[in-house]
Amino acid sequence: MPPSTLDARTKFIQLAIQYGFIFLDGIPRWIETCTYEKYSLVRVDDVVFMSSIADNIGTDPSVDDTNWQNPLTFDFDIDAQNITANGIFEDSKGPIAPVGSIVLWVTSEIPLGWLALDGQSLLESEYPDLFDLWGHDFGTGSGSDTFNVPDMRESSPVGVGTRGVGVTAHDVFTVGQFKDDQSQGHSHVINGTVNSLTVGTAPKITLDGNDFNSDRNNIVSIKSDGVNGTPRIGTTTRGKRFGVFYIVKY
């Protein structure tokens, strides 16, 4: 921490103590005679509380759960300037990152408080909030007291429900539903010069030196149209993709 910052912090604490406000790691201690606005943070010992009402005065946060929200226990690391809370941070509209929130993550090191959506089995007792949210919707895990998270590997999310306009053919999904890859039904027109035509029990037509019979077991390979480059072929149909982890808040 720069010396100027240390000096400013020290002076601030000295003034706070001088005028009767004792600050511990940046969170003020609760003082009975003070009036607190809604969302004000105060500290009782090592527990932090947030005021649920305006003009909050004379109510002890440690015993009053009507005017103060449930406590959050903080572990302060002043040197690293990090704050870790055993709880969920909220703003005026609710949790900042609700349990079950899914984000994209571009490294194999999953951050604390998050899990990779790779179908893994979890103990219900260790992840109660996530289990309350999903239950056994994605599997019962490896035992009677376990559950699975969704497996988002090799998958892309899609909005559930039926779109009202702008869609020619619908492919509707429900929440948590997985569908394998597919191609829209279609046919191909083959152009070329007929070299020969065989009829009878084994009909066959030869176009530009390529044979086609009734069993369709001889098919022309995908070739360039001479304009858009060499076609890319594989075992699945896909657009351009970029590999990420889907991770979930627990």
Same domain for 167 and 51: no
Find the mean pLDDT for residues 241-249.
Answer: 94
Same domain for 78 and 12: yes
The whole-number pLDDT of residue 97 equals 84
In a domain, 205, yes or no: no
Neighbours of 40 (CB within 10 A): 18
Tell which of 79, 95, 111 closes a domain. Answer: 95
Secondary structure class of 129 (helix, strand, coil): helix
- Dmax of the chain from CA atoms? 107
Phi, psi of 18 (to 5 degrees): -60, -40
Same domain for 125 and 105: yes
Same domain for 138 and 44: no
Same domain for 127 and 10: no
Checking if the pLDDT of 203 tops 80, the result is no
Q: SS3 sequence, 25-88?
A: CCEEECCCCCEECCCCEEEECCEEEEECCCCEECCCCCCCCCCECCCEEEEEECCCCEEEEECC
Tell which of 76, 95, 114 closes a domain. Answer: 95
In a domain, 17, yes or no: yes
In a domain, 207, yes or no: no
Going by pLDDT thresholds of 50, 70 and 90, the confidence category of residue 239 is confident
In a domain, 22, yes or no: yes
Least confident range from 14-18, 40-44, 94-98, 243-247: namely: 14-18
In a domain, 223, yes or no: no
Going by pLDDT thresholds of 50, 70 and 90, the confidence category of residue 70 is low
Same domain for 90 and 19: yes
Give the sign of the dihedral formed by CA 157, CA 162, CA 167, CA 173.
positive
Tell which of 60, 95, 130 closes a domain. Answer: 95
Q: Rounded mean pLDDT of the chain?
A: 79
Same domain for 110 and 162: yes
The whole-number pLDDT of residue 82 equals 58
Same domain for 250 and 132: yes
In a domain, 41, yes or no: yes
Beta bridge partners of 85: 74
Structural domains of the chain, count: 2
Same domain for 249 and 164: yes
| pLDDT cut 70: percent of the chain above it | 76
In a domain, 214, yes or no: no
Same domain for 143 and 21: no
* Per-residue DSSP letter, 100: T
In a domain, 191, yes or no: no
Same domain for 50 and 76: yes
Same domain for 249 and 141: yes
- Report the alpha-carbon distance of residue 146 to residue 122 in Å, rounded: 5
Question: CA of 126: how far to CAs of 118, 132, 142, 145, 210, in Å?
Answer: 18, 12, 14, 10, 63
- Report the alpha-carbon distance of residue 94 to residue 69 in Å, rounded: 12
The CATH number of residue 250's host domain is 3.90.1340.10
- Report the alpha-carbon distance of residue 62 to residue 97 in Å, rounded: 25
- Report the alpha-carbon distance of residue 17 to residue 22 in Å, rounded: 5
Domain hosting residue 132, numbered range: 97-181+244-250
Going by pLDDT thresholds of 50, 70 and 90, the confidence category of residue 22 is very low
C-beta of residue 207 within 8 angstroms of C-beta of residue 195: yes
Going by pLDDT thresholds of 50, 70 and 90, the confidence category of residue 140 is very high
